[in-house]
Amino acid sequence: MILPIVAYGDPVLKKEAGEIEKDYPDLDQLIENMFQTMYEASGVGLAAPQIGKSIRLFVVDGSPFAESDEDEEEDPRAKGLENFKKVFINPIIEEENGEEWGFNEGCLSIPDIREEVFRKEEIVISYYDENWELKEETYNGYAARIIQHEYDHVDGILFTDHLSALKRRLLTKKLTNISKGETKATYRMRFPLKKKQR
């Protein structure tokens, strides 16, 4: 089932989400719905707050970022993305290492806006997978980037929070318009400042 994606301005996106227990109701169904919703919107990651649930859960599938053309020069940051489909439950970023690098990030909750965000190159993350197996893994490059962005969501942080005060001010009107439902996004959304929901 495709769920509406919560747009910028909804308080759920600013809230620190809570951990869940193994007996969380219909978790498998929720995870499946989140993947379906993410694919429908052509996203590479989706966090539970973005579908209105303030819980520490996100899904990712980085395969659209994987190298497709074999003739192209290999981008080391894209390594391993073809199999990067995962569920993260109650994640904890244990370490962030390396140099910060800039990448033009977007977010399904903030359509039509992309801005350069600086984050560290490598992360170590512990989490439970969809079978409640505890994992600890190291990620680099785009995979780390996707995780860092989604992990921020469960902490109530958006990529716009990483921008300079000036940049944020320049985006104010665009962000307010998104909250009102004025966006070119073609997927189903829920807007905090729109009177009548579509």
**How far apart are alpha carbons 162 and 13 in whole angstroms?**
15
Q: State the nearest-atom distance from the C-beta of 151 to Ni ion, in Å.
A: 10
The answer to whether 104 and 42 have CB atoms below 8 angstroms apart is: no
CB-nearer residue toward Ni ion: 107 or 144: 107
Q: Identify the helix (H) or strand (E) that includes residue 143.
A: helix 141-154
CB-nearer residue toward Ni ion: 28 or 51: 51
Q: State the nearest-atom distance from the C-beta of 94 to Ni ion, in Å.
A: 22
CB-nearer residue toward Ni ion: 156 or 177: 156
**How far apart are alpha carbons 123 and 150 in whole angstroms?**
13
Active-site residue identified among 19, 121, 136, 150 = 150
**How far apart are alpha carbons 62 and 44 in whole angstroms?**
5
Q: State the nearest-atom distance from the C-beta of 153 to Ni ion, in Å.
A: 6
Number of Cβ within 10 Å of residue 81's Cβ equals: 22
Q: State the nearest-atom distance from the C-beta of 161 to Ni ion, in Å.
A: 11
Q: Measure the CA dihedral 83/54/192/9, to 10°.
A: -80
CB-nearer residue toward Ni ion: 71 or 87: 87
Instruction: Tell me which residues touch Ni ion (CB under 5 A).
Output: 107
136 as an active site residue: the answer is no
Q: In terms of DSSP bridges, do strands 45-47 and 57-61 run parallel, antiparallel, or are they unpaired?
A: antiparallel
CB-nearer residue toward Ni ion: 46 or 78: 46
| Rg, the chain, Cα only | 17
Q: State the nearest-atom distance from the C-beta of 183 to Ni ion, in Å.
A: 14
Q: In terms of DSSP bridges, do strands 134-140 and 189-190 run parallel, antiparallel, or are they unpaired?
A: unpaired
Q: Which residues are catalytic?
A: 150
